[in-house]
């Protein structure tokens, strides 16, 4: 597995490789939280490819099973969250067993309509919420497990990229400053960008070489106070030297 060497790992690291192998080498409760967006099922991928230019670019393999979830729950000290199709929440619940908390919902108010017009459109995606045995705590007060945030349009470099505004909300509610957030399917690194912006540490793993490189670029840009486009253009932040 290749590691990022551009930044000291005390703030963030992006590893290129298979997250299953990486997690097997981690100690129990090695990270504070896992917040991730794994691939969805083959049926979801096939359907998404038929709706919209961005989703047609999905070129990564769908999930065959949830064999990675046991490792996530083993290496995570507190909250584990995984985005999934609404129809897959039950599978996550069954796999998590007693560590299951509940299913959440990301509402996409500007999501794609049902182009066939013969059935309701998909309103959003599920969030599988899990926690280690013991006392639970979060920063969301009485907030429901419901987040209504439009799809990402800024710095969009991945076909299933989650909105930065959504990840900022979730990380602020479930984690505390200084804690380590782990994303074993980190894609273009949005979870990491949100974690750094909120004063958390971040470890990401991404199998795709190109996406892992993009994630590192985005995290470098975030540290410099720049957008990805500005970072690539070689601009200098007005706040930096």
Q: What is the CATH number of the domain that holds 126?
A: 3.40.50.150
Indicate the number of domains in the chain. Answer: 1
Asked if 171 and 127 touch (Cβ cutoff 8 Å), the reply is: no
DSSP 165-181: HHHHHHHHHH--TTPEE
- Cβ atoms of residues 147 and 169 within 8 Å: yes
Residue 156 CB partners (closer than 8 Å, separation 6+)? 54
Burial (Cβ within 10 Å: 0-12, 13-18, ≥19) of residue 158: buried
pLDDT at 225: 92
Domain membership flag for residue 227:
yes
**Ordered mean pLDDT values, 10 residues apiece, the chain (241 residues):** 48 94 94 92 49 48 82 97 95 97 95 82 94 96 96 75 94 97 95 97 94 94 89 66 46
The answer as to whether 205 is a domain residue is yes
pLDDT score for 65: 87
Report if residue 238 sits inside a domain. Answer: no
Q: Is residue 65 part of a domain?
A: yes
**Is 6 contained in some domain?**
yes
- Tell me the H-state helices in the chain: 19-24, 42-49, 69-75, 89-96, 164-174, 190-197, 209-224, 228-232
Give this prediction's pTM. 0.85
**237 lies in some domain:** no
Q: What local confidence, expressed as pLDDT, does residue 50 receive?
A: 47
pLDDT (0 to 100) of residue 221: 93
Size (the chain), residues: 241
- Its sign, for the CA torsion 22, 214, 148, 63, is negative
49 is a domain residue: yes
Please give the structure tokens belonging to residue 195: 């974690």
78: containing domain: 2-232
């Amino acid at each position: 597995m290749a590691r990022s060497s551009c930044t000291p790992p005390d703030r963030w690291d992006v590893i290129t490789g298979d997250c299953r192998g990486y997690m097997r080498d981690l100690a129990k409760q090695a990270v504070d939280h896992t917040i991730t967006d794994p691939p969805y099922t083959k049926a979801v991928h096939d359907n998404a490819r038929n709706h919209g230019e961005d989703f047609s670019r999905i070129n990564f393999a769908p999930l065959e099973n949830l064999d990675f979830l046991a490792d996530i729950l083993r290496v995570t000290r507190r909250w584990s969250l995984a985005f999934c199709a609404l129809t897959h929440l039950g599978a996550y619940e069954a796999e998590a067993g007693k560590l299951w908390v509940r299913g959440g919902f990301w509402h996409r108010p500007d999501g794609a309509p049902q182009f066939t017009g013969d059935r309701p459109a998909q309103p959003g995606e599920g969030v599988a919420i899990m926690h280690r045995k013991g006392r639970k705590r979060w920063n969301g007060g009485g907030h429901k497990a419901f987040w209504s945030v439009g799809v990402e349009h800024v710095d969009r470099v991945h076909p299933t990229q989650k909105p930065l505004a959504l990840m900022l909300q979730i990380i602020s509610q479930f984690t505390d400053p200084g804690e380590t957030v782990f994303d074993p399917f980190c894609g273009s690194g949005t979870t990491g960008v949100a974690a750094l912006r909120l004063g958390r540490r971040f470890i990401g793993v991404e199998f795709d070489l190109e996406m892992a490189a993009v994630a590192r670029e985005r995290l470098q840009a975030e540290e410099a106070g720049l957008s990805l486009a500005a970072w690539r253009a070689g601009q200098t932040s007005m706040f930096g030297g």
